[in-house]
């Protein structure tokens, strides 16, 4: 069984990792993932007893609270932190002035101590709580040796060596950094929270000529609703009559309006920008496009990228290691040089403070989270941060033709042969879910087909009035010994045969998507080296239809089973991205490094098969996805390099300064090496929320 528990007050990635570990140890809990950014815990468990134990652990973990899934999130105004910082600053400034004018040293000392207490009480409380938890059920050094204990050691050490200004500054700067970090992380959470605005809470239901307002959750398949101008579409539906204009920006990120006519599908989250129309519900609100968008974005953080996994694991062993090194710095040099422990206590404390890995364990997951949210704004949904990394490395892009590079809306443009050809084809094709079958919707047929069997990649076989009817490609006819005439046309041709005798053919036309050329050109500018098309269509037809597109190679006449073979060959040229409809292309999607489903929100199969879904069925979102993935990876790399470089330099300077005696690095500079670097890394992560140009 699976359950997602919404929480509040889980404030750091290290705490989330620790909570996940505690939950995973429980009997009956198969897996657990605590997410400090989304404020949720995802559980896989065996029974209600295991769930009850997990709930108990969550509710007793630090200050974490479980909240009702329908309850609105409280807006955190950080009043407690702001008051503490303000009070500390009010005490710190006069203490500094009195110290500079050389008043009795005990007066500024007392003020500094009070200033440190004003902001440090929370640090002391958290450090004490961690000490208790660290020795519960064995010893857990990573719980004990967190940033709270490191800052407490730094402040106490500064007061102990008669540097009260340094001790008060440590606590004040630390709490300012924590406050700014919380605001930055909360801002990113709010950015994702804006996606909830896509949902419509109510709908106008039409029943027996009357109108009534109902909750969107109450809508069911077949209900007819009224969409007035400005109304948000509450659930996926089909336009019953008339025509209108839709604002699809919330799904696609593009402001361009889209016309909708009778019979067109309308996805939830769109806004009716035209006249009032009636629409019939296709799927309940819980299975709608918006519901799937929100579910994918919320669940994306469960699949972590390699840098995230590494940083979380690294911090577990790193912190105890640096504490041991700090002890060695404080002890070994004095033993070798006159037992001067006071001199080496400062660099040992600074080493502890500087080495804290907070900048990495907060900024890295925050960057990926922001990347997922940014792509969602442009109508690109991802299943996890790990796929952003994979997409950033892509060098080759392969596409299905029908419904991907073309619109996938087929219309009959010609009929050849006997008069009953169309009627026979329509009777058989109405039993198929293939895109070509859409062309026969509305075609009249006096026949009824039975024992319909799909022949992969070639067509259909059925019984019609006791005769065996074949409907499909030229290959289907040849393999069944049916002689067919040659046709000079760029349209797709569906052949019809009765009892092995050619009856006629139907020409069906599909158009290239208007944005396809621009999207492919943008992909090449974005670093995609080679583009290819894998299609079951004939080479002549595929080349004719795609002639205007900047495609490097076309592989035609392929059966579904053959596409993975060509995908493997394309992967030899670099990491492969494959874009298809997500249903018929499942084998090749599994073979590719990254897979994208076009407009598959109405299909569970599309979401299951792909790593990304283009929510608005618009190719122009694909280059945005590639840019977003590369930008995310670049910012993660910047934060890792910057954080490590600054910490290494400051630690080296601190040790060198003490060893040479030339100068002393102040403890507040060490605090900058922790809190300042962390804050700068978080602010750099927030660049991911900007526009993708």
Residue 34: is it exposed, middle or buried by C-beta count within 10 angstroms (0-12/13-18/19+)? buried
List all residues 6 or more positions away from 144 whose beta carbon is below 8 Å from its beta carbon.
130, 131, 134, 135
**pTM higher than 0.75:** no
Which residues are registered as beta bridge partners of 471? 460, 496
Q: Which residues are catalytic?
A: 400
> Is residue 544 predicted with pLDDT exceeding 60?
yes
The rounded Cα 227 to chain-centroid distance in angstroms is 31
Higher pLDDT, 197 or 647: 647
The pLDDT tens digits of the residues spanning 335-353 come to: 887 777 777 887 887 787 7
Query: Could you tell me if 271 and 232 are in contact, meaning their C-beta atoms sit under 8 angstroms apart?
Result: yes
Q: Which domains does the chain have, with CATH numbers?
A: 2-66 (3.30.70.100), 198-297 (2.70.150.10), 411-509 (3.40.1110.10)
Q: Secondary structure of the chain: what % helix, strand, coil (to 5)?
A: 50, 20, 30
The pLDDT tens digits of the residues spanning 338-393 come to: 777 777 887 887 787 777 776 677 778 778 878 887 887 787 888 877 889 899 99
CA gap 479, 203 in Å, rounded: 53
The Cβ of residue 80 has, within 10 Å, a number of other Cβ atoms equal to 10
> Is residue 475 predicted with pLDDT exceeding 50?
yes
| Angle subtended by helix axes 164-193 and 147-160, to nearest 10 | 160
Q: State the DSSP H helix or E strand holding residue 631, giving kind and residue range, or none if neither.
A: helix 621-660
Average pLDDT value for the chain: 82
Local structure of residue 691 (DSSP, 8 states): -
> Is residue 50 predicted with pLDDT exceeding 50?
yes
List all residues 6 or more positions away from 101 whose beta carbon is below 8 Å from its beta carbon.
none
List all residues 6 or more positions away from 512 whose beta carbon is below 8 Å from its beta carbon.
405, 406, 407, 545, 546, 548, 549
- Four-point Cα dihedral 278, 280, 282, 284, nearest 10: 80
Residue 664: is it exposed, middle or buried by C-beta count within 10 angstroms (0-12/13-18/19+)? middle
SS3 category, 227: strand
Q: What is the pLDDT of residue 71?
A: 46
Q: What is the pLDDT of residue 689?
A: 75
Mean pLDDT value across residues 35-48: 80
The pLDDT tens digits of the residues spanning 566-620 come to: 999 999 888 999 998 756 677 888 889 999 988 655 455 556 778 888 877 788 8
Higher pLDDT, 267 or 625: 625
Q: What percent of the chain has pLDDT over 90?
A: 22
Question: Distance between the two ends of the chain, CA-based, in angstroms?
Answer: 42
Q: State the DSSP H helix or E strand holding residue 633, giving kind and residue range, or none if neither.
A: helix 621-660
């Amino acid at each position: 069984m699976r359950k997602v528990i919404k929480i509040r007050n889980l404030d750091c990635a290290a705490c989330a990792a620790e909570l996940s570990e505690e939950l995973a140890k429980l009997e009956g809990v198969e897996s657990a993932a605590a997410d400090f950014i989304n404020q949720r815990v995802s559980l896989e468990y065996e029974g209600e007893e295991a769930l009850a134990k997990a709930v108990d652990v969550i509710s007793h973990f630090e200050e974490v609270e479980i909240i009702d899934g329908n309850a609105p999130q409280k807006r955190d105004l950080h009043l407690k932190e702001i008051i503490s910082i303000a009070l500390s600053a009010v005490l710190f400034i006069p203490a500094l002035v009195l110290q500079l004018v050389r008043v009795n040293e005990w007066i500024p000392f007392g003020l500094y101590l009070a200033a440190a207490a004003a902001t440090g009480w929370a640090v002391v409380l958290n450090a004490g709580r961690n000490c208790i938890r660290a020795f519960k059920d064995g010893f857990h050094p990573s719980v004990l040796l967190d940033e709270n204990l490191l800052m407490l050691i730094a402040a106490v050490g500064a007061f102990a060596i008669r540097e009260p200004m340094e001790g008060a500054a440590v606590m004040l700067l630390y709490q300012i950094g924590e406050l700014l970090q919380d605001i930055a992380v909360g801002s990113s959470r709010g950015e994702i929270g804006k996606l909830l605005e896509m949902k419509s809470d109510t709908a106008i239901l039409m029943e027996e000529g009357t109108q009534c307002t109902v909750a969107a959750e109450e809508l069911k398949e077949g209900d007819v609703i009224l969409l007035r101008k400005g109304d948000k579409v509450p659930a996926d539906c089909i336009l019953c009559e008339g025509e209108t204009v839709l604002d699809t920006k919330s799904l696609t990120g593009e402001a361009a309006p889209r016309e909708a006519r009778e019979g067109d599908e309308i996805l939830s989250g769109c806004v009716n920008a035209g006249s009032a129309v009636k629409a019939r519900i296709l799927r309940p609100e819980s299975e709608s496009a918006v519901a799937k968008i929100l579910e994918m974005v919320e669940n994306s953080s469960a699949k972590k990228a390699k840098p995230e996994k590494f940083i979380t694991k690294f911090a577990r062993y790193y912190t105890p290691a640096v504490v041991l090194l700090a002890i060695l710095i404080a002890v070994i040099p004095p033993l070798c040089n006159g037992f001067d422990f006071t001199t080496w206590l400062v660099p040992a404390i600074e080493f502890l403070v500087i080495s804290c890995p907070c900048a990495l364990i907060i900024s890295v997951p925050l960057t990926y989270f922001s990347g997922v949210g940014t792509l969602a704004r442009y109508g690109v949904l991802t299943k996890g941060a790990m796929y952003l990394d994979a997409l950033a490395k892509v060098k080759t892009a392969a596409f299905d033709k029908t419904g991907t590079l073309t619109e996938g809306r087929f219309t009959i443009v010609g009929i050849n042969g006997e008069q009953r050809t169309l009627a026979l084809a329509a009777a058989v094709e109405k039993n198929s879910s293939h895109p070509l079958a859409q062309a026969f919707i509305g075609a009249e047929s006096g026949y009824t087909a039975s024992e319909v069997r799909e022949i992969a990649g070639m067509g259909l076989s059925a019984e019609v009035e006791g005769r065996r009817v074949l409907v499909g490609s030229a290959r289907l006819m040849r393999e069944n010994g049916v002689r067919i005439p040659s046709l000079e046309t760029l349209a797709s041709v569906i052949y019809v045969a009765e009892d092995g005798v050619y009856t006629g053919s139907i020409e069906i036309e599909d158009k290239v998507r208007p944005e396809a050329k621009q999207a492919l050109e943008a992909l090449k500018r974005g670093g995609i080296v080679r583009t290819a098309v894998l299609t079951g269509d004939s080479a002549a037809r595929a080349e004719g239809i795609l002639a205007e597109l900047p495609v490097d190679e076309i592989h035609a006449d392929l059966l579904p089973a053959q596409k993975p073979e060509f995908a493997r060959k394309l992967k030899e040229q670099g990491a492969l991205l494959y874009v298809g409809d997500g249903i018929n292309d499942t084998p090749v999607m599994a073979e590719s490094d990254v897979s994208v489903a076009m407009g598959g929100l109405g299909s569970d199969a599309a979401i299951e098969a792909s790593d990304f879904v283009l929510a608005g069925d618009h190719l122009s979102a694909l280059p945005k996805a590639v840019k977003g993935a590369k930008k995310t990876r670049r910012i993660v790399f910047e934060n890792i390099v910057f954080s490590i470089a600054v910490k290494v330099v400051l630690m080296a300077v601190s040790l060198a300064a003490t060893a040479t005696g030339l100068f002393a690095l102040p403890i507040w500079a060490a605090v900058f090496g922790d809190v300042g670097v962390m804050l700068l890394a978080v602010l750099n992560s927030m660049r991911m929320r900007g526009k993708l140009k």
